[in-house]
Structure formats: structure tokens, C-alpha cells
Amino acid sequence: MNLKNQIELELYFADHFDTVLFPVLADLYLKQQDVKRARKVCEIGLKYHKNDSAGLFILAQIEKADGNLKDAESALEHALLYSEDHLAAAKMLCEIQTVLGRASTRLLKSWKYVLMLDPNNETAQSFIKKVESGGQSKPKKKIIQFKKDTSQKILKKEKPSPEKAPVSPSSHPETILEPLKVSSRLATFTLVAVLKNQGLFGQALDVLDALEKKGESIKSIALERETIQALVKKYQKD
């Protein structure tokens, strides 16, 4: 399958509803503001891969676009349960929880989780400092309207079972062994997450290179590279 061709990706999905690549297609539709199709793809894909963090993150964005903030919050919590280093989901959860008016104590734990993933996050630092110093009992929505987060609920949940951990490339039926050449238009952090979750670390790094050429956030790319390199070392030891 040629991932550079959207039509081919659509045709492949039509014949393989169980593909792990469903978040890539859903993300394409969402970027085109075709929320209805994006939702349909996510709903189908998540029936086969209910704990796919990339798919759950796309679903959360869809729920947010449709104004279903509680459903978006639930999807983000689920995504973070199975992908604890998903910074974008963590920050988005903070944004959703802020709009929903969640308790400051809950938001404090959420922002602390963001800070753990991104120690230089200025919004998290500012929020935590103000709450812990007693500067405000409830966060001002204006301050963190651009930020997102992980919740108290997540920190209390059990970690995912071993069967949900990324599988090795050799064990997955859809492994792409040849070099993955993706056009800059289709190179997204969602595709990186899909490849990373399937243990296709080399291909994920290729997509990060494409994102760098595309001019995406150097900071986000660096964080993803560090995560992938750590996973590679882990599997080499195993």
C-alpha cells in the first residue's frame, strides 16, 4: 500500500477494517474538516483496536469538534492509560478539564503529569506554582486555554496489561519492512504514534525526519525521538 496516496489508503481501509493504520486516514479527514468521515473511520477502527492510543486521540479531537467535551475527556483518559508518554493528549486533557470546570486539585495533578512529560512546559509550571502558593482556588480559563492535560483519574488507574505494549516489528501482520517514504503532506505525529505503537521504530523515525523538513515543532519532534530511542534500547535489552 502506498501511504502517499489518500485514495489508495481509503481503498485499503475499505477492504481491511481491522488495519492499525485507521488513525492515519481518520486524521486526514479531520484535517480536511470532514468530521463525519473521521468519526466513522475511528468508530470502525476502534472496534478492532479499542485501546489504540492514536485512534483514541483522534476520536477525542472529533468529540471536541462536535462539542462533546465529556466524551473527549473520556477518550483522552483512555488514550493516556495505554500511552503514558502521549504529551499532546495530556495537554489536551487539561484544556478539556478546564472548560468543564474540574476541581483545581484534579487539574493540579493533571498539570503535574504534563510537567513530568515536559519539564520545560511554562503553562504547567505557572499553574502549579499559583495553585500550590494559594494564589487562586480555581484556575482561570484564560490562562490555559491553549493547553491540555492528563487527569487525576488517569494517575489512579492501573497500567495497561502487557499485551497492549508495542509489539516487535517481526510479530505484526502489517509490518512494513522496506523504508517508509511518506510525503510531507501525509507525515503527521499521528502516523508516528501508529508506527511507534506497532514497534516500527525505524519507520517512525523516518516520519519524524519528514516532519522536521515540513517545519513542524522541533521540540515535539525531539521528544518523540527520545521516546523512540528509549524504546529501541529497551527492546534490544530484551
Domain extent listing, the chain: 51-162, 166-237
pTM of the model: 0.62
Q: What is the pLDDT of residues 141-187, one digit of tens each?
A: 444 444 444 444 444 444 444 444 444 333 343 333 444 555 555 56
- 212 vs 170, which has greater pLDDT? 212
CA distance linking residue 217 with residue 204, whole number of Å? 16
Residue 38 makes CB contacts below 8 A (sequence gap 6+) with: 26, 27, 29, 30, 58, 62
What pLDDT does residue 94 have? 94
- In CATH terms, the fold of domain 51-162 is 1.25.40
Over pLDDT 90: what percentage of the chain?
47
What rounded mean pLDDT belongs to the chain?
79
